[in-house]
Amino acid sequence: MDGGGLVLNFAAPSGDAAPMRMAKPKGGRWKDRAKAVKSVKRKIAVASRPASSAPSASSSSSAAASEAIVTAREQAQARAHNAFEDFMAGDPSASKEAKLMHGKSQVQSSIFSPEDNKIEKVKTLQRPIGKPSNAPLNTSTFTGIGLDADLVKHMEGKLRVTMPTVIQQKAIPVLLGPTRKVGDDIPKTDTDVIIQAETGSGKTLTYLLPIVNRLIESESSPALDLESKRSIGTLAIIMTPTRELAKQILQVLETLLSMPASSTTGKKRSHWIVPGIVIGGDKKKSEKARLRKGVNILVGTPGRLLDHLQNTKAFEVQSLRWLVLDEADRLLELGFEESMTAILKILDARVKIAASVTSGNDTTKVWPQKRQTVLCSATLSDEVQRLAGSSLVDPIYISAKKEVAITKGIPGEELVTKEEKQAQQFSTPEQLKQLYVVAQAKLRLVTLTAMLKNAFALKDKKAKAPKLVVFLSSCDSVDFHHGLFANAGKETKKEPSQDGFFGQNYNEDEDDEGKADEIPDFVSAANRIDAKSITDEMYKAKRETERANARKARAQLSLMGAILPDVPLFRLHGNLAQGLRTDTYFEFCKAPSGVLFATDVAARGLDLPDVSHIIQYDPPSDLKDYVHRVGRTARLGRDGEAVLFLLPSEIKYLELLTAQGLPTQEVTVTNILMKLAPPKSTDYQQPATDIQNSFERYNLHTPENMAIARGAFWAFVKSYATHPSAEKHIFHIKNLHLGHIAKSFALREAPSDIPQPKKKKVGAGGKNGHRPGVDPDDETRVVRKSQKEREKEERAKPKIVLKRKNDMSEFAVGDYKSLVGPMLKRKKKTK
């Protein structure tokens, strides 16, 4: 890999860890410090009598003082813990009590202690880095597997795609249909297809190319007169779980369809094929207008698709030939199963190809004679198998593994042992380096910082700067970390005193928030001198423009911070406005390097070019997401590195990964932090402590910062409660040391102000407008049904017994009640 490896530079230190610094009675209110000193003095007086074997006065005083502080800290943590436990048990007074408690002083504790690094070892699967398994092959060509020569030439020029990958080589001939007769494995008629290929292996082109190819092949048909082509309605629907993925697919589709008729005219050859998109967050009215005019290939998210199928009369699907379910497992996880079932039911009822379109002519013989459903997935979970069972008819299964032949039937059915099934479910690119680090909660933030700093500390100036994605468990956490790395270290005023933020010392007048507009940073001195020489009116106008520019600058998509100088920092999660989400996505795609803080909204299907490293700072709430997250790197045969953060109490998670055949290799916190040590020194604790302190100062700087940090803390704790029951022995709230978790959010102690749920907009789908666990982005409308209707539907779907999952990828504090509420009720009942 190019320079900037997170771990490439982690040479083991020459000795063991640097010597520990003695803890000193610092931090906290002066009263606490004075008390500690008093208590120390008393202890020294007692200890000084038989002085022979006692340790030196200074070390004893320091140890006693730190003991006193630790006791105070533990008491504070115990109080916070109790309040939290009460809250979890549903005690309504707990929140109030906790709030009252919060006004008390905060104790600043050290992040290092002698008992650090006592971490249990588990046996992990280690595998040497293999040869790229998802790279294009050099043994075949796209024309060789049956694609139109012009389309191939166009694709080579526009997408720089020249040779097919394994999955493309195996699946494209099948999807091109029986008329093409390329290869021996081609079924005599078009059949439904299951495509399983690891992340970054080119699945999008695998299904798009045959569809486009078969459409352009039919264009010369005399019976399909040009005028009626667009009005034939929708011929292909591609369903995806997220808006970004839908936009990405549309972009590839538009590129393929921009093929010129001839190099001289510059006219598009396939101008009659109209692509379109329907996704949550976009204006329904304009989508309706587009559907009315005719959209031949439609990309969409399930909620909005169902909405249009039910409410847009002009949405014609009777000629539908292709239905693609992309990222099928994710489609189910986000709770779309109800929408999916409803969509399939509507399509089954409306699609009447044979009678209405192909009668009396053979013009569309190159198209499937009945709807062909293609299901794509990188993982093959039980749910996907069940979906395949209910939505596909006699499918064939095509795997990206060279050694796996094309077979009939749903994969997995024939596999007997659990191990065989697991081996088929999960696979990651062979060339991907997968690491893990076990970090105590209080060291997480500095370890992440050291890791990022290390990645961007390029020794060789010519080396390519890295591009990283940091996965977090909640939207609030993304906002917090993005804000922290972008702004910490830039504060200009003095740190408020320890109890200042909640006490009287905090002086709001000192707050420079809002003053930023007065004299924008970027207004150069020269500009200001100019301003003096102009009239009042002109000056006013100039100031207005400057303010507008300042606002624009503040709202820019990427920010640069003091902690990681010159590194653009992005954020992406489902609570951002759609425009910002889209712009950020495209901006990060374009950026040559940078860091993207994201929820799992960026985990699936997104093709983020040149991502070199993945950091899973919070483990995924579902094992499948591990595969998808790490799959944002090591794409198309390129190198990649992924690091998973675990708490010591989560070490058993590695056993789960190993059981799935996922290889991991350890890198230690010490090795990572050691990079912070100054040249020729092994003291990494002081620089790490300085970083932690600067983050804590940033939080104390303004009430807003503090509120964001607390919100992120709670979102973390609450998202922790949503790991599936099979992982509860690993991820259990009771295992969390809340005081240490607080440190990872640069809080000096665990906040005890339980946040109140945010008020949600009441939408068509009930109280919250969307079901718990459902990505609010894409679930735009939940259709109300009568009890009778629902029961009837339940009876009518015997095969799909899809588990609803509390997906926390888009978790925000406000969602807590809906997710944890039922848990609390259960707990109460059992009491």
Ligand X SMILES: Nc1ncnc2c1ncn2[C@@H]1O[C@H](COP(=O)(O)OP(=O)(O)OP(=O)(O)O)[C@@H](O)[C@H]1O
Residues binding ligand X (CB under 6 A): 136, 159, 161, 163-165, 168, 197, 199-205, 378, 605, 607, 631, 635-636
From the CB of 482, what's the least distance to ligand X, in Å? 23
Q: Which is nearer to ligand X, 252 or 342 (CB)?
A: 252
Q: What CA–CA distance (Å, rounded) separates 616 from 320? A: 40
Dihedral angle over CA of 39, 40, 44, 45, nearest 10: -30
Calpha distance 614→628 (Å, rounded): 11
CB nearer to ligand X: pick between 167 and 569: 167
- The tokens describing 607, both together, are 């093709």
Cβ closest to ligand X, residue 171 vs residue 569: 171
Q: Are strands 236-239 and 665-666 parallel, antiparallel or unpaired?
A: unpaired
Question: Nearer Cβ to ligand X, position 244 or 618?
Answer: 244
Q: Would you say 778 and 334 are in contact if contact means Cβ atoms under 8 Å apart?
A: yes
Q: Nearer to ligand X by C-beta: 177 or 429?
A: 429
Min CB(371)–ligand X separation in Å: 22
Inter-residue contact 723 to 734 (CB < 8 Å): no
* Complex with ligand X: residue 157 or 822, whichever CB lies closer: 157
Separation CA 697–CA 118 (nearest Å): 29
Going along 138-235, which residue ranges are E strands? 193-196
Q: Shortest distance, CB of residue 224 to ligand X, whole angstroms?
A: 29
Least distance in angstroms from the C-beta of 138 to ligand X: 11
Closest to ligand X by CB, 251 vs 312, is: 251
* Distance in Å, CB of 216 to ligand X, minimum: 19
Which of 204, 372 has the CB closer to ligand X?
Answer: 204
How many CB atoms sit inside 10 A of residue 331's CB? 27
Pick 98 or 195: Cβ nearer ligand X: 195
CA 298 distance to own-chain centroid:
25
What is the distance between the alpha carbons of residues 144 and 137, in angstroms, rounded to a whole number?
13
- What minimum distance in Å lies between the beta carbon of 614 and ligand X? 12
Residues 688 and 695: their CA atoms lie apart, in Å, by 11
Q: How far is the CB of 378 from ligand X (least distance, A)?
A: 4
**Minimum CB separation from ligand X for residue 605, in Å?**
4
Least CB distance to ligand X at residue 468 (A): 17
Contact between 150 and 259 under an 8 Å Cβ cutoff? The reply is yes
- Kindly state the smallest distance separating residue 745's Cβ from ligand X, in Å: 30
- Tokens for 107, please give them: 């104790």
**Burial readout 110-142 (b: 16 or more C-beta within 10 A, e: otherwise):** bbbeeebbebeeeebbeeebeebbbbbeeeeeb
Quick one: 94 or 205, whose CB is closer to ligand X? 205
- Single-letter amino acid code for the residue at 439: A
Cα distance between residue 463 and residue 194, in whole Å: 41
- Specify the residue, 165 or 339, whose C-beta has the smaller distance to ligand X: 165
φ and ψ at 773, to 5 degrees?
85, -5
With respect to ligand X, which residue has the nearer C-beta, 282 or 607? Answer: 607
Which residue, 378 or 782, is less far from ligand X as judged by CB? Answer: 378
Return the residue nearest ligand X (CB atom): 202
Compute the C-alpha angle 462/467/471, nearest 5°: 160
* 166 CB-near residues (< 8 Å, 6+ apart): 134, 137, 197, 201, 400, 401, 402
Side chain identity, residue 756: Q
Nearest-approach distance from CB 203 to ligand X, in angstroms: 4
Cβ 287 vs Cβ 338: under 8 Å: no
d(Cα 815, Cα 811) in Å, to the nearest integer?
Answer: 6
What is the smallest separation between the CB atom of 202 and ligand X, expressed in angstroms?
3
**468 with 612: CB under 8 angstroms?**
yes
Strand partners, 569: 559, 595
Do 607 and 444 form a contact (C-beta atoms < 8 A)?
no
> Could you tell me the smallest distance in angstroms from the CB atom of residue 244 to ligand X?
11
